[in-house]
């Protein structure tokens, strides 16, 4: 479904089956411990615990180059198993290859992503596929020209594909809503220039 916005954005509520989405969620928690992967950043010679739970999956080539250091990005892993399957499926959908997947964990509705724009590694043509797992949460696009918001609920196993002009014409947010008590995982695919 194309969203009624002044940019290219497509939403697929059933990109993954219920079983695929549930198995991937379980793998990221049980095998990769994403729910314990609190990002610790270095600033001014001190280590600071952030509110983010984050891990990266990288191609073997990027891991070998240490292109995305752990002190900045959190724990890194090579694509394998269910994450490799997801990468292949996403790449087929958008006919683009990606080098990296960033996984974020939101323990409950107190955790959110404030309005921001994502890094455009290919200018206005940057494609950012974004997969949601777990708790259904509300995502919002805010227009840079008039401040209008368009909101939608992101289903377990859904894909939101942000394409042409999504980052330059809108900011986006995963809204805070303390009524949600379950965990949620978001996975975005990026190219090697992402930092
Ligand atoms: O969790 C989400 O759906 C949004 C994440 C996000 O905005 C980002 O990674 O830039």
Asked if residue 16 is part of any domain, the answer here is yes
Domain-embedded: residue 3: no
87 in a structural domain: yes
CB distance 186 to ligand 1 below 6 Å: yes
Task: Name the residue range of residue 123's domain.
Answer: 9-189
pLDDT tens figures, 42-93: 788 888 888 889 999 999 999 999 999 888 888 999 999 999 999 999 999 9
Q: Report the domain count for the chain.
A: 1
Where residue 82 sits, what CATH number does that domain have?
Answer: 2.60.120.590
Q: What is the pLDDT of residues 102-135, one digit of tens each?
A: 999 999 999 999 999 998 888 888 999 999 999 9
Instruction: State in Å: Cα 146 to ligand 1 middle.
Output: 22
Computed from CA positions of residues 170, 174, 179, 184, in that sequence, does the dihedral angle turn out positive or negative? Answer: positive
Query: Ligand 1: distance of its center to the CA of 103 in Å?
Result: 9
Q: What is the DSSP string of 13-29?
A: TTSS-HHHHHHHHHHHH
Residue 45 lies in a domain: yes
Cα(113) to ligand 1 centroid in Å equals 6
H/E stretch holding 123 reads: strand 121-124
Residue 84: count other Cβ atoms within 10 Å of its Cβ.
Answer: 13
130 lines ligand 1 (CB under 6 A): yes
**Binding site membership of 53 for ligand 1 (Cβ less than 6 Å):** no
Task: Look at residue 159 and tell me if it is in a domain.
Answer: yes
CA 49-24-142 angle, 5° bins: 60
Q: What's the whole-model pTM score? A: 0.95
Answer whether residue 195 is part of any domain. no
């Amino acid at each position: 479904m194309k969203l009624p916005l002044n940019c290219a954005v497509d939403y697929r509520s059933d990109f993954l089956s219920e079983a695929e989405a549930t198995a991937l969620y379980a793998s990221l928690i049980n095998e990769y411990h994403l729910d314990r992967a609190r990002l610790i950043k270095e600033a001014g010679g001190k280590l600071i615990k952030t509110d983010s739970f984050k891990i990266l999956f990288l191609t073997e080539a990027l891991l070998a180059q240490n292109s995305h250091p752990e002190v900045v990005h959190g724990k890194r892993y090579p694509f394998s198993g269910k994450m490799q399957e997801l990468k292949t499926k996403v790449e087929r959908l958008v006919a683009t290859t990606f080098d990296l997947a960033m996984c974020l964990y939101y323990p409950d509705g107190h955790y959110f992503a404030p309005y921001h724009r994502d890094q455009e590694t290919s200018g206005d043509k940057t494609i950012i596929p974004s997969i949601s797992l777990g708790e259904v949460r509300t995502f919002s696009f805010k227009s840079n020209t008039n401040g209008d918001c368009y909101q939608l609920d992101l289903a377990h196993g859904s894909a939101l594909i942000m394409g042409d002009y999504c980052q330059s014409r809108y900011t986006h947010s995963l809204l805070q809503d303390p009524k949600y008590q379950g965990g949620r995982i978001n996975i975005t695919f990026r190219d090697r220039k992402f930092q």
